[in-house]
Structure 1
């Protein structure tokens, strides 16, 4: 039985990953917040690591992988990704991440959009605030880097844009503007093996989102799958990543964000029948078709209140 270690263990998907993977793998989680352990994750599965910016982050994570005899490390926090990808040769295990160049491109939302356009792939019109010439209000204002929809807002005028920047407490040059896309939002798990061969594409139709997806359902939409395959074919990479997109009323698909890691909805893909770890480790020849999955499984996230009595 192989051993997995997920970082960002306090995330919304960890409880489900532990439950769904528990009979197939030995599962461990690490987080910089030692108090973030989900109630259903045993203390023996829970490990403390430094913040990604700390000099001790990589040495401690490498040490932990050796101690636990980890077979596959799955980093899940944006700030960790470039550091782990650059140092992946120093880990005595597989690291389920795309290459550092892919990570750095798509952690920068402006560079990500430019890469899609350079590959002649659909993408929303996107401009830096100081160089805006085509985007009109209403539009989306978002930081060039960030996660969980932090600092993202619909702005309808210059006044709203200025106010949003002030409230965000970030300099204006940190922001980009993006055309407002209307339609059905999808979050899509892309799963490739070590050689970059695409093994699975799992579209998830978003119902309710509050930073993370709270209500959603798997949806094997042909247009969404085709658009995501085209993105992967333009730059095949190993590991898992996530594509967020809008499908409009006319059936056009535009990706507005690519996250170079697993997302919190990876657990829904797993529940639908796609083991992204097994797909990554697969040594079989390129498949004739993508992995099948159940496309009628819904995700409903609710809060669990845990009471800890201190003495």
Structure 2
């Protein structure tokens, strides 16, 4: 079962898994999500942060005979992790690692305690550290929520004196925000391929060439210190499941981790193209004791993210039987591109016959 069927990278993941021989069931909150039609079956579900989400997912897993879940959006990670076990593998790191990553302030403190390089970071409710006051970072500062995905709520400020105004304008309480020194060197998004035995099977750094909220263009790039840092994260924090490290290089070329996504990356397709099939490979290990992956991949493979179209007949489309979205109020979040339906009834998801 693959969630977040409306996210731009998810249809490609669904098609790839089907090509690899998996039967794929897709879920999303939006009946327009294209992945619903590209999976073997599709279902509407409530939002991942609603109380109705977990019961709905549990029922779907039982009715569809699911053996694994690939969750791809942060709001779902902690609740869906509760389904792991009894013949169902949830393709996530261990719950403690997931919880730490979803609170960016907790994560920064844990990384720092483990001796892993991070930008200077503090809670917006606290005064800045003395060394920051004495050395106002030339690259500026980042004010962002402790929780949340992508670039939502992130503000860039040029000087320390501008931080209070950014906090006041954020719409968040000060204790819900962190402030980080902005590291302006090359940025990397790094797939770390690991499963329950804790052994790192591959580390694939991808240098970000263009980012607008999410990575748009990236290229696989060997970098010994980046790879060492990512292995150190697994050694210190024991994810024991797939995760994605976001970091920048400082003026001395040292990696500085500013965020970790405790799930498969939205650039997992680039990892696959370079030679490490992290999603299908770890799925096989989880459900069939498949072989370990190897840390052998091609450098210089460049991802150009684009929209693409898939074509089916009118009869096939009509046969999906897509019903209207649940008749509940639409809830618009401030930085969503459009309102999306929210369901509060675990029985309100509608099965979609898809191909």
- TM-score exceeds 0.5: yes
Question: 2:84 aligned with 1:88, yes or no?
Answer: yes
**Residue 299 of structure 1 corresponds to which residue in structure 2?**
303
User: Take 1:112 and 1:94, find their aligned partners in 2: how far apart are those partners?
Assistant: 25
Superposed CA deviations along residues 51-91 of structure 1, whole A, max 9, x for unmatched, are 123232112112212232222211111111111223423x6
User: Take 1:281 and 1:29, find their aligned partners in 2: how far apart are those partners?
Assistant: 18
User: Take 1:58 and 1:257, find their aligned partners in 2: how far apart are those partners?
Assistant: 26
- The answer as to whether partners of 1:197 and 1:237 remain within 8 angstroms in 2 is no
User: Take 1:43 and 1:8, find their aligned partners in 2: how far apart are those partners?
Assistant: 12
**Residue 348 of structure 2 corresponds to which residue in structure 1?**
none
Gaps of 5+ in 1: none
- The answer as to whether partners of 1:37 and 1:46 remain within 8 angstroms in 2 is no
Q: Secondary structure at the match of 1:213?
A: strand
Structure 1 runs, 4 residues or longer, greater than 4 Å off: 283-287
Higher mean C-alpha displacement, 52-61 vs 183-192: 52-61
**Residue 221 of structure 1 corresponds to which residue in structure 2?**
223
Gaps of 5+ in 2: 311-316, 318-355
User: Take 1:161 and 1:122, find their aligned partners in 2: how far apart are those partners?
Assistant: 23
Higher mean C-alpha displacement, 62-71 vs 113-122: 62-71
**Residue 259 of structure 1 corresponds to which residue in structure 2?**
261
- The answer as to whether partners of 2:24 and 2:39 remain within 8 angstroms in 1 is no
User: Take 2:241 and 2:284, find their aligned partners in 1: how far apart are those partners?
Assistant: 9
Structure 1 segment 46-195 matched on structure 2, within 5 A: 46-89=42-85, 92-131=87-126, 132-134=128-130, 135=132, 136=136, 138-157=140-159, 160-195=162-197
**Residue 241 of structure 1 corresponds to which residue in structure 2?**
243
The structure with the greater share of residues assigned to strand is: 1
**Residue 282 of structure 2 corresponds to which residue in structure 1?**
279
Number of residues of Structure 1 aligned to a counterpart in Structure 2: 299
- The answer as to whether partners of 1:239 and 1:280 remain within 8 angstroms in 2 is no
Higher mean C-alpha displacement, 160-169 vs 182-191: 160-169
Could you say what the CA RMSD is over the residues aligned between the two structures, in angstroms?
A: 2.5
Larger C-alpha radius of gyration, 1 or 2? Answer: 2
User: Take 1:183 and 1:152, find their aligned partners in 2: how far apart are those partners?
Assistant: 18
